[in-house]
Amino acid sequence: MLLFLVAVGLTLIFGVLKVVNFSHGAFYMFGAYFAMTAYQLTGSFALAILVGAAGTAILGLIFERVFMSRVYGRDVLMQLLVCYAFVLIFDDVVRMIWGPEFKSMGMPAAFQVPPLFIAGGVVPPYYLLLIGVALAAAVVLGLGLARSRIGKVIRAAAHNPGMVSALGINTGLIYGGVFALGGMLAGLAGALAAPVRSLTPGMGFSVLIESFIVTVIGGMGSILGALIGALLIGLIRSFGSLGFPLFTEGLMYLFMVIVLVSRPTGLFGKEVA
Amino acid sequence: MTRTRKPGISRRSTLALMGAGAVTFAAPWVARAEAKTIKIGMPTILSGRVAQLGTSSRNAVMLEVEKVNAAGGLAGRQIEMVIRDSKGQPQEAARIARELVNTDGCEMLLDGEASSGSFAVHEVARDLGVLCIHTCSEASSLTADPKQHIPNAFRCVRQGIHDSIVGAGYAAGIAKTKGLKKWATCSPDYAYGRDTTGEFVLYLKKFAPDVEVISESWPKLFQPDYTEVVTKILQAKPQALYSCLWGGDLTSYIDQANIYALFTQMEVFAVNMADYTALTVVKNLPKGIHSGDRYIKTFPATPENAAWGDAYKAKYNEYPTNWSWQNATAVMFLNEAVKKANSTDGKKVAEVLTGLTIKCPFGADGTVTMRADDRTLVGYAIGWGTTIPQEPYVPDVKAGDWKTIFELEAEWKKSKGYT
């Protein structure tokens, strides 16, 4: 479910801005570190999540306005280079502020309870929270994009930015907003991951690779695709580790290859006109 | 205008140039011969995921070097450490080691590399003939394999095979008393994880023949999410779990396994748990995880060891790591060997180091020995115990028996074709 939050941010940014945001993992990392610091200072888990999400949203907005907005429409290689440079820079920034050693935030007392046994499976209550947050994010994003006025403007901007701009809408603001939203979703995932994962500089990278697989399987730009893709990857990992313990990683990529061969745009991707 | 001298270089200036050149090129050699200071080079890992261990190695070396220098230095020469970052890359470690000797004029090397890099530095030592002490690589073959033997290289580090023998002996004892027959393993999927787990299981079955491994998991190194590994182990329902996950991977695993209440459902043996880097980071450390000692200031329970751990903490504001005590011991060995040889000449020091026993806070009986036949460290404190969530973290460590270790190590060497 955390994978879904990271992947949906990635897919949103790609869908609207047509940029493959290679530095997306860094926002996940910042979300986790912001949350840890806020949790240590205040002791409030809710506030920690809020700080993690809001902090990365602001960071995303600044990053988009100052750097990414300069490379829209440029060569893909140029965009990748800028993003990759910032992967390295952000890692070093984290190293300077929080140190190179790994850190742990610790599980809030409210969730230090025995797991639930549902239909023969073991389900920790904290993971129910993760599932709830991710589903809520999926519903809000899905409905927001489909029904609200802002959603319509965003979709219009994705299709024809020139026309949207001509209608007197500030496309720069829309782009910045979408990037901030994408960053916020990654930061939210990082903040929610902080209690159960160790925090190190560079922690975003492995998550980034898996979210790319999720978005490719689900279809670049599709929110439903990201949700289904994340679920499929989770299932493949679980069953893979039982059936093919030495080939779990390989199975993920194999599945991606099968999807790409049979449906080059991904499961829910639309043909590019 | 008349020329006062012919164009080109005059004889006088040629001589001056030659003289200057000779002085320039000879200067380092003259300086080196007369140098009051002795330079010791050290490649180690100061950036990347294991930077914390490299930094703790450097800290321990500097702590000991300051003591040696304050007491007059090595045979009257003050030590100057030249420490460089290899970023954990073997080719970089080899390049730096060569440069430290050839360009910086280092007369000895402390090799603070992990296993991959230490084999590369070992080849440099073989080529240059410089005195080299490996201080971090636990890979048994580095000194067990006779192909690696050179008279100028030593290993001042605990060894994988020693850990496996002691760990399996301890685990077998508990398995017998508690009737733990069904075991699962969960270790990182690379050479260290697979070798160490294989050796542990081999000796566990030797000491407790009715043990059966019913589930194996090999998460990849630095994997962020262990959900599928945790649920797989829970479904296999083993009575005990062995893991050699380490550092951030181990703490991450504990956090995730904790919310599945895994630690209440089986006995857990995690060889790398009792290291301050992991112990102090985990916020909700479950009680009763069995672990090998890495560095802990309460084992051996001597005032010397406690004082050393406290002095380190006072200076660097954190506790030492497993790499720290090994590096400190290497400097202690050098100091003693130079005193005995009354010289800083690499060859003479190497001769004295071979088979040398010194007093040391980390010795099982207060001393450690650089075993003569394979130039590796023996007699260090090694043991297993159970963890508690606060200091002293491992209140009661059961020491391993060196006699048994020697016997089984000799058998293992024979089975590998090393002797």
| Domain annotation covers residue A181 | yes
Higher pLDDT, B240 or A206: B240
Q: Which residues contact B88 (CB under 8 A, 6 or more apart)?
A: B45, B48, B49, B50, B113, B114, B116, B117
Closest chain B residue to A116, measured at CA: B260
pLDDT band at A17 (very low <50, low <70, confident <90, very high): confident
Express each pLDDT in B28-49 by its tens digit. 554 454 468 999 999 999 887 6
B334-343 contacts, C-beta under 8 A, 24 or more apart: B334/B40, B334/B74, B334/B108, B334/B133, B335/B64, B335/B68, B335/B74, B338/B74, B338/B75, B339/B75, B342/B75, B343/B75
Most A CBs within 10 Å, among B252, B280, B318, to test the A interface: B252
| Domain annotation covers residue A160 | yes
- Residue B79 pLDDT more than 70? yes
List, as ranges, residues 184-243 from A with C-beta within 8 Å of B. Answer: 193, 195-198, 200, 202-203, 206-207, 234, 237-238, 240-242
pLDDT band at A273 (very low <50, low <70, confident <90, very high): very low
Contacts of B51 in chain A (CB under 8 A): 100-101
Supply the pLDDT for residue B195: 85
- Residue A260 pLDDT more than 60? yes
pLDDT band at A140 (very low <50, low <70, confident <90, very high): very high
Name the residue with tokens 């140039």: B17
CATH code: domain B35-159+302-378 is 3.40.50.2300
- Residue A74 pLDDT more than 60? yes
| Domain annotation covers residue A162 | yes
* Nearest in space to B185 (alpha carbons), one of B166, B211, B223: B211
| Chain A: closest CA distance from residue B174 (Å) | 26
> Of B220, B231, B256, which is closest to A238 when you measure between CB atoms?
B231
Pick B161-301+383-415's CATH classification: 1.10.220.70, 3.40.50.2300, 3.40.1260.10, 3.40.50.1370.
3.40.50.2300
Residue B314: phi and psi, rounded to 5, are -65, -35
Other C-beta atoms closer than 10 Å to the C-beta of A180 total: 24
**Which range is least confidently modeled, A175-179, B30-34, B275-279, B362-366?**
B30-34
Give me the mean pLDDT over the B5-13 stretch. 58
Give me the mean pLDDT over the A14-21 stretch. 88
DSSP state of A169: -
Supply the pLDDT for residue B254: 92
- Residue A188 pLDDT more than 60? yes
Highest average pLDDT, of A97-111, B156-170, B281-295, comes from: B156-170
Supply the pLDDT for residue B70: 97
| Domain annotation covers residue A94 | yes
Express each pLDDT in B121-135 by its tens digit. 999 999 999 999 999
Give me the mean pLDDT over the A169-176 stretch. 89
ipTM given for this complex: 0.81
Give me the mean pLDDT over the B324-344 stretch. 97
Cβ <8 Å between A241 and B251: no
Q: What is the Cα gyration radius of chain A? A: 19
> Of B217, B256, B282, which is closest to A241 when you measure between CB atoms?
B217
| Domain annotation covers residue A243 | no
Supply the pLDDT for residue B373: 93
Q: What is the Cα gyration radius of chain B? A: 25
**Share above pLDDT 90 across residues of chain B, in percent, rounded to a whole number:** 75
List, as ranges, residues 358-387 from B with C-beta within 8 Å of A. Answer: none
DSSP state of A54: H
**Share above pLDDT 70 across residues of chain B, in percent, rounded to a whole number:** 91
Name the residue with tokens 């703490």: B251
| Domain annotation covers residue A214 | no
- Burial class from Cβ neighbours inside 10 Å (0-12, 13-18, 19+) for residue A33 reads buried
Other C-beta atoms closer than 10 Å to the C-beta of A166 total: 10
> Of A2, A115, A249, which is closest to B220 when you measure between CB atoms?
A249
| Domain annotation covers residue A248 | no
> How much is the mean pLDDT over chain B?
90
Q: What is the DSSP string of A177-199?
A: HHHHHHHHHHHHHHHHHTTTS-B
pLDDT band at A25 (very low <50, low <70, confident <90, very high): very high
| Count of domains forming chain A | 1
- Residue A120 pLDDT more than 90? no
Domain boundaries of chain B, sorted by first residue:
35-159+302-378, 161-301+383-415
pLDDT band at B19 (very low <50, low <70, confident <90, very high): low
- Residue B314 pLDDT more than 50? yes
Give me the mean pLDDT over the B184-191 stretch. 90
Supply the pLDDT for residue B1: 44
Contacts of A119 in chain B (CB under 8 A): none
Supply the pLDDT for residue B23: 53
* Nearest in space to B225 (alpha carbons), one of A36, A130, A50, A14: A130
| Domain annotation covers residue A241 | no
- Residue A164 pLDDT more than 90? no
- Tallying the residues shown for chain A, one arrives at 273
Highest average pLDDT, of A238-247, B25-34, B178-187, comes from: B178-187
Cβ <8 Å between B224 and A207: yes
* Domain span at A97: 2-203
Q: Does any CB of chain B come closer than 8 Å to the CB of residue A250?
A: no
- Tallying the residues shown for chain B, one arrives at 419
Q: What's the one-letter identity of residue B353? A: L
